[in-house]
Amino acid sequence: MRNQQAVQLISELSQAGRRGTEYPSGDIPERPLDELLPKRYRTDSPPLLPQLAEPDVVRHYVNLSTRNMSVDTHFYPLGSCTMKYNPKRHERLAKLPGIGDLHPYQDEADTQGMLGILFDLQQMLGEIAGLPAVSLQPAAGAQGELTALLTAAAYFEDRGENRTKVLFPSSAHGTNPASAALAGFETVQLKAPAQGLVDLEELKKHLDEQVAVFMITNPNTLGLFEDQIGDVASMLHDYGGLVYIDGANMNAILGITRPGDFGGDMMHYNVHKTFTGPHGAGGPGAGPIAVRDFLGDYLPGPIIEESTGDDGSKSFRLTNPTKSIGRVRSHFGNVGILLRGYFYLRTLGAAGLKEVSEKAVLNANYLKALLKDTFPVPYGTICKHEFVASAKQLQKERGITAMDIAKRLIDYGFHPPTVYFPLDVPEAMMMEPTETESKETLDAFAVALEKIAAEDVEMLHAAPHTTAICRPDEVRAAKSPVLRWPRNSG
């Protein structure tokens, strides 16, 4: 019954005449319908709405909700996405009446508390990045990338420089070249390096006065810290170019090192990933950007400024940088997520942030050590907050693919890791345990993977076996989704 009520559409569960509410007869005299609503505005027949009792509706949606995997219910080792547990305290604080009841069109004088919070957040994000100028506007990481590239384009245009190219390594997030192309730049990918880090000789071949930005994630998508990043930055700066740090992996370096200190000129945060905020399935997110002071005049507005009165009182106002590229989001950005990040930072403090990264790195290396004999990691002996294992040997010896393993993990109650990314690793399995998982959880996950590696191959090819739909054609499902339910199919 549970499966039926969860999997069947609510329209399929409908029974003619069943309903949850009966309204009493009205005491207002009836009037002809044509008099109240002319026929030209009415349909020929009532809409085919599902007819169900209240328990049918409640059970359908409750059962449906339990089929989701989330960080509240499952270990979620999704490499590259930092799916950490989000403390519920931050949810409660972000909804306090003095915050949640504000309207974005209220006068600045009425929103001084909110503006003060956002100003403090700007300051904290600038300090963590080592990049002093911050805009909270971008609504997600990818929009942060685009916004930073538009900021760079405005900077170069203002200087009278015609720079057309954006470089990135082969391990870059897919959004990097997409953002660069959307910002009007030519994209140039470096050849895959032998050791998983940027090849300085390969980078040198592409450097000239046409290069605007080099986009790099540090630690990179192989879970390795680009320890020659200082040299990379010097090479870009010698040609007048800028270094963009994709901040998706900041969870590994909080309080330990800063993009501004190792040569980055711009970066974005994924507040919902690095700090706190429920995310997944496309949002909500927040992608503030931090830049060096000489780029601050081009940031999107508004930003929040603090001023001190003659009596020493503090006040806050919205302002636009002098050469701003304009708005990229309405109002102040995705304030709900920004607030959760603010409370996360206030809760942990500087020492707590550093501990986050230390434990995230410790957990990743512990899990890597547990799995190394069955799932070798081709790049690096010590990883940061994530690592990329390979199922290539299992595929060669037993015909078991990374996808088979990922699907079978669902039967064991674990969300699969990211598979087949980055492309530098064959049969890639990218795992990020985060700092919020216990040793017992990591041990259980490793045991499950070891069991799966020894299971019957044909059974693995058909996994998962405990879900409503076992092994769909994912390419077809993505390219030709069936999003409408034809009534006659029921």
CATH number assigned to the domain comprising residue 139: 3.40.640.10
Where among 348, 363, 394 does a domain terminate?
A: 348
We report the CATH number of the domain holding residue 455 as 3.90.1150.10
Backbone angles phi, psi at 319, to 5 degrees: -145, 160
* Same domain, yes or no: 461 and 392: yes
Tell me, yes or no, whether 413 lies in a domain. Answer: yes
Tell me, yes or no, whether 79 lies in a domain. Answer: no
Tell me, yes or no, whether 81 lies in a domain. Answer: no
Predicted local confidence at residue 5, as pLDDT: 66
* Same domain, yes or no: 196 and 301: yes
Tell me, yes or no, whether 83 lies in a domain. Answer: no
Predicted local confidence at residue 21, as pLDDT: 86
* Same domain, yes or no: 371 and 255: no
Residue ranges with strand state E in 3-161 = 133-135
Determine the residue type at 219.
Answer: P
Tell me, yes or no, whether 371 lies in a domain. Answer: yes
* Same domain, yes or no: 342 and 358: no
Predicted local confidence at residue 159, as pLDDT: 97
**C-alpha distances out from residue 487 to 10, 12, 45, 110, 144, Å:** 12, 8, 16, 52, 43
Tell me, yes or no, whether 215 lies in a domain. Answer: yes
* Same domain, yes or no: 167 and 295: yes
* Same domain, yes or no: 286 and 300: yes
Backbone angles phi, psi at 276, to 5 degrees: -155, 155
Where among 324, 348, 372 does a domain terminate?
A: 348
* Same domain, yes or no: 446 and 391: yes
* Same domain, yes or no: 133 and 51: no
* Same domain, yes or no: 329 and 360: no
| Pairing status of strand 165-168 against strand 186-189 | parallel
* Same domain, yes or no: 182 and 299: yes
Where do runs of H (alpha helix) occur along 136-279? 141-158, 175-182, 200-206, 229-238
The answer to whether the bond into 132 is cis (omega within 30° of 0) is no
Residue 389 CA to residue 426 CA, distance in Å, equals 9
Task: List, for the chain, all residue ranges whose pLDDT scores fall below the cut of 50.
Answer: 1, 490
Where among 317, 332, 348 does a domain terminate?
A: 348
Residue 120 CA to residue 135 CA, distance in Å, equals 12
Residue 453 CA to residue 457 CA, distance in Å, equals 9
Tell me, yes or no, whether 75 lies in a domain. Answer: no
Domain count, the chain: 3
pLDDT digits (tens, 9 = 90+) for 111-164: 999 999 999 999 999 999 999 999 999 999 999 999 999 999 999 999 999 999
Range of the domain at 306: 90-348
* Same domain, yes or no: 411 and 306: no
Cα 139 to the center of its chain, rounded Å: 11
CB-CB contact of 125 with 289 (8 Å): no
Predicted local confidence at residue 490, as pLDDT: 45
* Same domain, yes or no: 61 and 98: no
**C-alpha distances out from residue 67 to 23, 78, 319, 418, 463, Å:** 34, 18, 46, 20, 16
Residue 202 CA to residue 200 CA, distance in Å, equals 5
Determine the residue type at 80.
Answer: S
Predicted local confidence at residue 281, as pLDDT: 61
413: exposed, middle or buried (Cβ count in 10 Å: 0-12, 13-18, 19+): middle
Tell me, yes or no, whether 1 lies in a domain. Answer: no
CA-based R_g, the chain, Å: 26
